[in-house]
Amino acid sequence: MSANLTGHLLADDPALSPLTRALVALREEVVQAWMDAVRSAVPQAKELPLPILANTLPAYFDTLAALLTPGYPARVLNDLGAVASEHGGERARMTDYDATAVIHELQIFRDVLFRALHEHGVALGDGGHAAVSAHIDASIRESANAFTVVQAALREQFVASVAHDLRTPLSTAQMAAEMISHTSNDPNVRRYAEKIVASTQRIDGMTRELLDRIAFCKTGAVRLEIHPVDMTALMREVVLAAASAHPVELTLEREGIEGWWCGDAIRRVAENLVNNAIKYGAPDAPVRVTVSTTPERVQLMVHNAGDPIAPEDSESIFQLYRRAGSRGPGSGWGVGLPYVRRVAEAHGGSVLMSSSIDDGTTFVIDIPLDARPFAGAPSAA
Work out the mean pLDDT of the chain and round it to a whole number: 86
Q: What is the maximum alpha-carbon separation in the chain?
A: 92
> Residue 35: pLDDT band by 50, 70, 90 thresholds?
very high
**Residue 132 predicted with pLDDT over 70:** yes
- Residues in the chain, overall count: 381
**pLDDT tens figures, 77-87:** 889 999 999 99
Domains and CATH numbers, the chain: 3-154 (1.10.490), 227-374 (3.30.565.10)
According to DSSP, residue 307 is labeled S
Where in the chain does DSSP place strands (E)?
227-230, 248-252, 258-261, 287-294, 297-304, 350-356, 360-368
Amino acid at site 54:
A
Q: What are phi and psi of 164, to 5 degrees?
A: -65, -45
d(CA 354, CA 273): 13
Spatial CA neighbour of 324 closest among 218, 336, 146: 336
Q: Quote the pTM value.
A: 0.73
Task: Collapse the DSSP code of 363 into the 3-class scheme (helix H, G, I; strand E, B; otherwise coil) and give the result.
Answer: strand
pLDDT of residue 139: 95
Higher pLDDT, 335 or 44: 44
Taking the chain, what is the end-to-end CA distance rounded to the nearest angstrom? Answer: 27
Region 328-347: mean pLDDT is 70
**Residue 226 predicted with pLDDT over 90:** yes
> Residue 209: pLDDT band by 50, 70, 90 thresholds?
low
Spatial CA neighbour of 93 closest among 332, 357, 261, 345: 345
Cβ count within 10 A of residue 94 = 22
d(CA 175, CA 195): 13
> Residue 74: pLDDT band by 50, 70, 90 thresholds?
confident
Helices (H) and strands (E) in the chain, counts: 11, 7
CA dihedral 33, 38, 40, 41 (to 10 degrees): 130
pLDDT of residue 288: 96
Task: Collapse the DSSP code of 110 into the 3-class scheme (helix H, G, I; strand E, B; otherwise coil) and give the result.
Answer: helix
d(CA 115, CA 119): 6
DSSP for 335-351, please give it: SHHHHHHHHHHHTT-EE
Cβ count within 10 A of residue 168 = 9
Spatial CA neighbour of 286 closest among 253, 239, 252: 239
102-116, 178-192, 327-341: range with lowest mean pLDDT: 327-341
pLDDT of residue 164: 63
d(CA 369, CA 40): 25
d(CA 324, CA 333): 7
Cβ pair 310, 333 in contact under 8 A: no
The gap from C-alpha 229 to its chain's centroid, in whole angstroms, comes to 21
Which residue blocks in 95-217 are alpha helix, DSSP H?
99-119, 125-183, 187-214
CA dist list (Å): 97 to 42, 102, 349: 9, 7, 16
